[in-house]
Structure 1
Amino acid sequence: MRIILTILTLVIFSYAKAQDKEVESIKSQAKKFSEYMMNGEREQVVAMYTSDAKIFPADRDILEGERLANYWNPPGERSWKTSYHRITPVEIKVMGNEAYDWGYYEGTSSNGEQTSDWRGKYVIIWRKIEGEWKIYLDIWNRIKLDN
């Protein structure tokens, strides 16, 4: 009986360690997303998504494919720059090669004349593809800031 309990404890411990590793990997991807936003690397932002990803921006249709890419990297010159972007997960749950992540985001954008601070909530469904976590579904909406 002791051997079975020891094996079971080791299995549970190993599973928990694997979960922790995957959660940290997802947090690292979220941090990269923010870095790409602040550096204006919009192509890299788009590359964080799976090839069949969908985004659900507030007050807009669901976007995928070229429409998703154009949302993050619109044709022509973009006048607003993001100087601050941060994702704060509240919960990340990994289930094999898929995971969900929900929490808050915040940031600051400017067009040189005006500055806009923003904050909101999000839910992301992640997929692990070839060892890397990518965003499959991404929904967010703003929270009114108290000023």
Structure 2
Amino acid sequence: MSKKHDAEEAAIRELDKKWSEAATAKNMDRVMEFYATDGSLVWPDQPPAHGHPAIRASWEAIYKAAPDMYLDFRPTRIDIASGGDMASDFGLVHFAPDAKPNDPKNTAKYLVVWKREHGAWKVLYDSWNRNAP
């Protein structure tokens, strides 16, 4: 991997950390800053949400359903496209500060697709699901 791709991977890892912090703080305006204008959520047990208004509505619903929500994204693999304009980000998301990787109630896997929008990395697709049956 090139040094440029190493730097891009590090940037996405930092974005994952800041996104986790914003989501846990329920800072809706900050959470929305991570999404591309044409971004989409593909979350379990919900219809897909396309675009900022629908994404915001999905986040607001999850905050209402889980007022003490905690999120911590832990990327395990980030791949940068050869053109440097898209990336995939796969890892675990923890729903509790003390969650363990094999805890099906408090840990899930995620896949996020990032794209360059006006020079910045933004979430194009946000998807996750649990390991539990």
> What interval of TM-score do these two structures reach, taking the shorter chain for normalisation?
0.7 to 0.9
The answer to whether 1:85 aligns with 2:85 is: no
Summarize the alignment of residues 43-82 of structure 1 with structure 2, pairs less than 5 Å apart: 43-65=29-51, 66-74=53-61, 78=64, 80-82=67-69
Identity %: 26
Runs of 4+ in 1 over 4 A off after TM superposition: none
How far is 1:141 from its partner?
1.0
How far is 1:46 from its partner?
1.7
Q: Greater strand percent: which structure?
A: 1
Letter in 1 for 2:54: R
Question: SS of 2:19's equivalent?
Answer: helix
How far is 1:130 from its partner?
2.2
Q: How many pairs does the alignment contain?
A: 121
> Counterpart of 1:11?
none
What is the TM-score with the length of structure 2 in the denominator?
Answer: 0.81
Unaligned runs of 5+ in 2: 98-104
How far is 1:73 from its partner?
2.6
Summarize the alignment of residues 93-104 of structure 1 with structure 2, pairs less than 5 Å apart: 93-95=79-81, 96-104=84-92
> Counterpart of 1:10?
none
Q: Deviations over 1:69-95 (max 9, x none)?
A: 111134xx836122x421111110111
Q: Deviations over 1:22-80 (max 9, x none)?
A: 00000111001111012120221122100000110102211112221111134xx8361
Give the root-mean-square deviation of aligned CA atoms. Answer: 2.1
How far is 1:108 from its partner?
2.8
Alpha-carbon distance in structure 2 between the residues aligned to 1:52 and 1:46: 12
What is the TM-score with the length of structure 1 in the denominator?
Answer: 0.74
Question: SS of 2:71's equivalent?
Answer: strand
The answer to whether 1:42 aligns with 2:28 is: yes
Instruction: Assess if the C-alpha contact under 8 Å between 1:91 and 1:101 holds in 2.
Output: yes
Letter in 2 for 1:142: R
